[in-house]
Amino acid sequence: MSNTLKIGLAGLGTVGTAALKRLDSMQMKFAEKAGLAIEVRAISARSKTRDRGIDLSGYRWYDNPVDLAKSDDIDVFVELIGGDSGPAEEAVRAAIQSGKHVVTANKALIAKHGNELARMAEANHVALNFEAAVAGGIPVIKAVRESMTANAISRVYGILNGTCNYILTRMEEEGLSFDACLKDAQRLGYAEADPTFDVEGYDTAHKLTILTSLAFGTEIESEAILVEGITGITPADIAAARDLGFRIKLLGVAKKTSTGIEQRVHPTMVPRDSSIAQISGVTNAVVIDGDAIGSVTLAGPGAGGDATASAVIADIVDLARGLEVKPLGRPADALVPFKQSEIYAHEGGYYIRLRVNDMHGVFASIATRMAEQEISLESIVQHKKRSKASEAEATPAAGKSQDIILITYETTEMRINKAIEAIKTDGHIIAPPQVIRIARV
């Protein structure tokens, strides 16, 4: 390598453009920090003529990112295209096979192909850095992979999607419906035109599988994960959580158990006075539980051009400094196969909201079904007078109804599911049950 680290950057969307601008405007500062000049030599994107607010004439242009990845004129290939296949995957593989270091913000790519790409990178003696793939500008990858190597990590969890956190925050603060908050998030650019990937929990799941591998030394496993989104959360649930002293957050949780690793993404009620409950708006937060450090919380901007570009550039500067680590924290061949903990054995408290016919004996019947599964109830509340938002959820043929809200002590997922199925067979429920896990973090 010469006295200049030569960069090829593919993908000039929000993050790519922000990274290119910052690399261009702060060359001297990065050279001082790294002891080596960092220079973007070539770029690639879908459109050469789109106005991005930056002069591109000084960079060599490649229509095909794979050709850029193979170019002899670069040392590092920065992939900001996105997607778990297609041009992004092809270009990353080409770069590694051509002996180029790779920096990427592509969580979908790492979640799906990370095990294989890590082996390829090691075999070709190049780095595969992906700090920007999880939690945007928060240096959580470096923290788990490098700074906490002296710890046995037992759990890692957090708020990993700013879109969902923004929606849940607005629902609580302003009493709005999910749909109203989603539309506003789209208007402000916090949510995509098709928000499914975010609001159904898949974005969080990709990020969590990466953290799981780093925390527990397992191969990445993106299939063995429970994923539930926030589309079913209603103003009635938000209000009930507030009354009970909780807030609802979409959490990704990875936990080591005696039988394997739990990986789950779902709405969770957390105590209002907990650190994770204070994370509002588009902010992300990750909590890491280690035996030496106890519990550490990292919070900050989880998305956005500048925040994510900051993480991309940090990876580049590490390479300029000569800092190279194993992509997944240890040699790929030393990663242990992922062993899934049975989700139905998961223990915790549960919030259950049941919309039932308002008639004699329903309350007692539900309590009996819970007792049959040895589920202890911390509280059971009847709501006969519902809000306008709750009324809107009722089916036209439901007639007079009421909400029954149950809060359980710790029990298993399996017992909860059996109890609810039994309650359904009794014929009292007139709307799908709402079940939200409670985490007393």
Active centre residues (catalytic): 207
Q: How far is CA 63 from the centre of its chain?
A: 32
| 3-class DSSP assignment, residue 135 | coil
**Distance separating alpha carbons of residues 107 and 309, to the nearest angstrom:** 14
| Tokens linked to 341 | 């903990």
Is the distance from CB of 288 to CB of 156 less than 8 angstroms? Answer: yes
How many Å is the Cα radius of gyration of the chain? 24
Candidates 300, 378, 28; CA nearest to 143 is 300
**Distance separating alpha carbons of residues 374 and 423, to the nearest angstrom:** 14
For tokens 């054995």, name the residue.
Answer: 345
| Tokens linked to 72 | 């002899």
| 3-class DSSP assignment, residue 224 | coil
- Of all helices (H) and strands (E), which one includes residue 438? strand 434-438
Q: Is the dihedral of CA 248, 254, 256, 262 positive or negative?
A: positive
Q: What is the dihedral of CA 64, 68, 89, 323, to 10 degrees?
A: -160
**Distance separating alpha carbons of residues 96 and 74, to the nearest angstrom:** 12
Q: Please give the C-alpha separations between residue 10 and each of 6, 70, 117, 218, in angstroms, as whole numbers.
A: 13, 12, 18, 30
Is the distance from CB of 254 to CB of 288 less than 8 angstroms? Answer: no
